[in-house]
Amino acid sequence: MNKLYKELGQYQEKNIYPFHMPGHKRNPSCMGMHLPVELDITEITGFDDLHHPSGMILEAERRTARLFSAQESFFSVNGSTAAILAAISACTKRGDRVLVARNCHKSVYHALYLRGLRPMYIYPNDYPGMTLNGGISANKVGRILEENPDIRAVIIASPTYDGIVSDVERIAYAAHSQDIPLIVDEAHGAHFVFSNYFPDSAISLGGDIVIQSAHKTLPSLTQTAFLHVCSDRVDPERVRWFMNVYETSSPSYILMSSLDSCVDKLASSGKDMFRRFTRDLEEARRQLAAGRHIRLVTPSHEEDERIFDFDRSKLILSTRDSSLTGPALHRILYDEFQIEIEMEGPDYVLAMASVGDTREGFDRLCEAIETIDEREEENDPAEKSEPESPTGEKKKMLEMEDAIESSKETCLLEESIGRVAADFVYLYPPATPILVPGELITGPVIRALRQYKELQLCVTGLWGEDGDSIRTVADGD
């Protein structure tokens, strides 16, 4: 059986001259830096076609489906974004009404706009004492679906960027009781199927389409993802058609071979890799849990029923009991200890662990946090202001599509209160919208945006040289 990543490695040894794309012609000397140009090919003889696979790419996708216990799996070289766009498009008709978790990634909202869908939002539970989103309530999903029988699909993100997992099985039961599909953005949970240490994957819990970013937590290159079809409620041919719409017509064979290699590696060595990883991760969590001021957060159902489950590979380090903010802790870790973390919030940082981590890497993080925690003995944690949280329910004044297509005016932030947002505004990461076009701009939202800017968090969607303005729907529209 030919495997894409092996064939690609062997192809560079053949004396075949490329009178075809790409323009570098596999000639490293014409590039300004070292890149694997010898492996960078297009759809040439013997290498199959991602958009109409019949050979080694189709076999690679079938091996993926077997590994993840899905009915069918599809490669995405445009990340989870293209897979989410395709999944939502394949499960709906233009203009359908859908139930959407309000803490979904921005790509979900882009799919709503592109397909002219009419969303009803369900908001996640609050996480007490921190600016984190909790899970989605299965009871609320069931109640909303019973009261709104015209809803045609349910879309949630589980786990969240921070690792909070919803009760996917009960949410799926509620959706299936109405004979509609559940689409799960499991971009941050591709590793779940490989160890009982982690929560169960939505693939085994009733998700009808499950999207996973291979590059986030598995050994695969950036921009690689899987779309898994897991039930007969989804037409795989319709999925393939929409994947062709949203993916590039010139897919990277380097990225595809990375997915193929990832699947092969996990099939042959995954158990041993994850056994070592979870052992080292649990030891690191034990050490980090000793902090008194920089505190390891481990959400649990036993402590709070609003949390169903938690991905322990997400190392959430709270600064609430210290003199530091999240961004300040990030800077110290980077400047003093040469550690780059995944993201920062107003009152925490997130260090993301994966099967690619080493014992030495875990030790560096633990020693750095221990050192910083010891320094905090001399500091007063009461000097900080309470972080603003803009996660409460928003009032929808216009449909998202109408707001996007409207005439727009740019206002200073404080002058925009009471007006209607015309753009998405979000922190990046995690790219969950604080404001969706069509929503009312309120004082708490503006105060939170001001605080985020003061903390030098990456706020996307603001205007002006200093990001002190926002676009709103023009009066009269």
Maximum separation of any 2 CA atoms in the chain, in Å = 69
Asked whether the beta carbons of 98 and 117 are under 8 A apart, the reply is yes
Per-residue tokens: 448: 């939170």
- pLDDT tens for 346-381 read 999 999 999 999 999 999 999 999 999 999 998 876
Angle between helices 168-177 and 138-147 (to 10 degrees): 10
pLDDT at res. 394: 95
Instruction: Look at 12-21, 202-211, 357-366, 432-441 and tell me which has the smallest mean pLDDT.
Output: 12-21
Task: Give the number of other Cβ atoms within 10 Å of residue 175's Cβ.
Answer: 27
Domain 271-383 fold is Aspartate Aminotransferase, domain 1 (3.90.1150)
CATH assignment, 400-473: 3.90.100.10
Asked whether the beta carbons of 102 and 132 are under 8 A apart, the reply is no
Q: In 3D, which of 253, 293, 292, 268 has the Cα closest to residue 56?
A: 253
16, 105, 181, 279, 466 from 436: Cα distances, Å: 52, 12, 24, 41, 21
pLDDT at res. 282: 98
Euclidean distance between CA atoms 78 and 84, whole angstroms: 10
Domain 4-265 fold is Aspartate Aminotransferase; domain 2 (3.40.640)
pLDDT at res. 475: 87
- Flag whether pLDDT at 194 surpasses 90: yes
Euclidean distance between CA atoms 252 and 98, whole angstroms: 33
Helix (H) or strand (E) holding 62: helix 56-68
Every domain of the chain with CATH number 3.90.1150.10 lies at 271-383
Per-residue tokens: 370: 């221990």
- Flag whether pLDDT at 391 surpasses 80: no
Q: Is-above-0.75 flag for pTM? A: yes
Every domain of the chain with CATH number 3.90.100.10 lies at 400-473
Q: Which amino acid is at 173?
A: Y
